[in-house]
């Protein structure tokens, strides 16, 4: 199977973001004919105030970002792993940071909301308080893609190995991680973490990033980009150049099984809670 990763530089113009995503997806489809295509985290709206995020959010199913992805999937007969979009919640003012997945017929087959919130102070002193605007999800999600099990995660989730072990336990052969990794952390941690998660779970790790700058309040912030695909042995087999664009890679499910046969870590797991303290 051929997977395509779309790398974007989204901002606060939602209509422009959706148009850019559609154009990049159709370019990748025309040139590479992928089976599966992934967008980055919050491709529909990046930056802005809490009120602006809320105004840009969509009630699912429905809304312009949701409908565009559904149309692309149906029109071109591809799986669309919808990065993430801002989901309007009915029971509180915060929004969901939510992945929606469509099959080749344009049918929604999975929905995942980011579990781990990015509440940190970056090396340059900028503060990120994601939980103030976004509600964390509470479910481990996988789905079937033509016989291949794909697991869902988003950005900061990458730092929490237990989630990825849970995805592997649910049968994931590929794990998709749309992201908007900061420049400061990305230059030191992005590839290391992607390769580590692939090696630990013996899966293909498919990480799609935002790139470039965006405005958050009175600050200009920068994302790392460098979308990449790591195979189950930990080799980077595809990588996007700097800037907006895409990269593709072939996924071989048999390679997952070969690696798991060589090093059967799943069979060697020990329940650490049962060990003597």
Question: In whole angstroms, what separates CA 248 from the centre of its chain?
Answer: 15
Residue 159, Cβ density class (10 Å: 0-12 exposed, 13-18 middle, ≥19 buried): middle
Give, for all 277 residues of the chain, the pLDDT tens digit: 999 999 999 999 999 999 999 999 999 999 999 999 999 999 999 999 999 999 999 999 999 999 999 999 999 999 999 999 999 999 999 999 999 999 999 999 999 999 999 999 988 888 899 999 999 999 999 999 999 999 999 999 999 999 999 999 999 999 999 999 999 999 999 999 999 999 999 999 999 999 999 998 888 999 999 999 999 999 999 999 999 999 999 999 999 999 999 999 999 999 888 897 7
41 flagged as catalytic: yes
Instruction: Report the DSSP pairing between strands 211-216 and 148-152.
Output: unpaired
200 flagged as catalytic: no
- Confirm whether pTM is higher than 0.85: yes
Return the exposure string of 163-184: e unless at least 16 CB atoms fall within 10 Å of the residue's CB, then b: bbbebbeeebbbbbbbbbbbbb
CA angle 38, 43, 48 (to 5 degrees): 165
What residue ranges define each of the domains in the chain, with the CATH number in brackets?
2-267 (3.60.110.10)
Q: Which residues pair with 247 in a beta bridge?
A: 5
Helix spans in 173-249 (H): 183-201
Q: Provide the total of helices (H) and of strands (E) in the chain, helices listed first.
A: 7, 18
Q: Which of 58, 155, 194, 202 is catalytic?
A: 155
User: And the tokens for 197?
Assistant: 């998660």
Rounded Cα–Cα distance for residues 192 and 96 (Å): 28
User: And the tokens for 58?
Assistant: 């969509």
Which residues have C-beta within 8 Å of that of residue 9, sequence separation ≥ 6?
210, 211, 212, 213, 214, 223, 243, 244
Phi-psi region of 226 (alpha: psi -120 to 50; beta: other; left: phi over 0): left
Q: Which of 14, 41, 145, 202 is catalytic?
A: 41
Residue 162, Cβ density class (10 Å: 0-12 exposed, 13-18 middle, ≥19 buried): exposed
Q: For 105-163, what is each residue's pLDDT tens digit?
A: 999 999 999 999 999 998 888 889 999 999 999 999 999 999 999 999 999 999 999 99
Which residues have C-beta within 8 Å of that of residue 91, sequence separation ≥ 6?
none
26 flagged as catalytic: no
Q: Which of 114, 130, 145, 202 is catalytic?
A: 114
Which residues have C-beta within 8 Å of that of residue 125, sequence separation ≥ 6?
none
């Amino acid at each position: 199977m051929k997977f395509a990763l779309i790398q974007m530089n989204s901002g606060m113009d939602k209509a422009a973001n959706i148009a850019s995503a559609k154009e990049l997806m159709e370019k990748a489809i025309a040139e590479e004919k992928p089976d599966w295509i992934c967008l980055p985290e919050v491709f529909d709206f990046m930056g802005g105030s809490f009120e602006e995020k809320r105004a840009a959010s969509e009630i699912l199913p429905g809304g312009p970002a949701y409908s565009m992805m559904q149309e692309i999937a149906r029109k071109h007969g591809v799986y669309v792993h919808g990065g993430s979009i801002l989901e309007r919640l009915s029971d509180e003012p915060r929004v969901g940071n939510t992945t929606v997945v469509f099959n080749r017929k344009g049918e929604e087959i999975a929905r995942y909301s980011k579990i781990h919130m990015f509440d940190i102070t970056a090396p340059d002193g900028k503060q990120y308080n994601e939980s103030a605007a976004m509600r964390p999800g509470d479910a481990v999600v996988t789905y079937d893609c033509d016989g291949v099990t794909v697991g869902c995660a988003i950005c900061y989730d990458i730092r929490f190995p237990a989630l990825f072990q849970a995805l592997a336990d649910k049968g994931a052969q590929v794990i998709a991680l749309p992201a908007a990794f900061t420049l400061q952390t990305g230059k030191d941690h992005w590839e290391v973490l992607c390769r580590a998660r692939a090696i630990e779970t013996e899966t293909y790790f498919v990480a799609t990033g935002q790139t470039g700058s965006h405005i958050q309040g009175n600050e200009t912030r920068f994302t790392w980009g460098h979308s990449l695909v790591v195979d189950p042995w930990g080799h980077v087999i595809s990588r996007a150049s700097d800037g907006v664009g895409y990269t593709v890679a072939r996924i071989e499910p048999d390679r997952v099984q070969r690696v798991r046969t060589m090093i059967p870590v799943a069979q060697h797991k020990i329940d650490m809670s049962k060990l003597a303290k």
